[in-house]
Structure 1
Amino acid sequence: MTDDKIKSDFRERDRVSSDEGYEVAYFARKFQLTIPEVRELIKRHGNDRPTLEREAKAIASR
């Protein structure tokens, strides 16, 4: 990532990286899920953040 804020790229914000432990842990805490549950969600539904949030809310409401 560059230091020049004008050249910053925010395309990654709508994705959850299963390779980044801190992203998975944050997502798990946010929806009170376990890390394996989050990894399974990513495996099933891809890494699109809005889709994952919708599915995580459905799981959390059970």
Structure 2
Amino acid sequence: MADDKTQLGGQDRQRISLSEEYEVRDWMESFGVSKEKLVEAVNAVGDRADDVREYLNR
């Protein structure tokens, strides 16, 4: 079944994909951290941006 095209934005914008360089770069800039620190945070708490933000602010 095809994706529901009426559901725009949202959840994907709250997930961090380490497989796309442009996304890694954007999240690094957003959080003000290095790639290594971003990868460490995602590995520690998962790919949800809110969880990563909380981890980085500790």
Same-fold call, TM > 0.5? yes
Q: Which runs of 5+ in 1 are unaligned?
A: none
TM-score (structure 1 length as normaliser): 0.67
Tell me which stretches of 4 or more aligned residues in structure 1 moved more than 2 Å. Answer: 6-11
Q: Which has the higher helix share?
A: 1
TM-score (structure 2 length as normaliser): 0.71
Conserved in 2, the CA contact under 8 Å of 1:31 and 1:57?
A: no
Give the CA RMSD over aligned residues.
Answer: 2.1
Q: Which runs of 5+ in 2 are unaligned?
A: none
- The reply on whether 1:42 has 2:30 as its aligned counterpart is no
Q: Which amino acid aligns with 1:20?
A: E
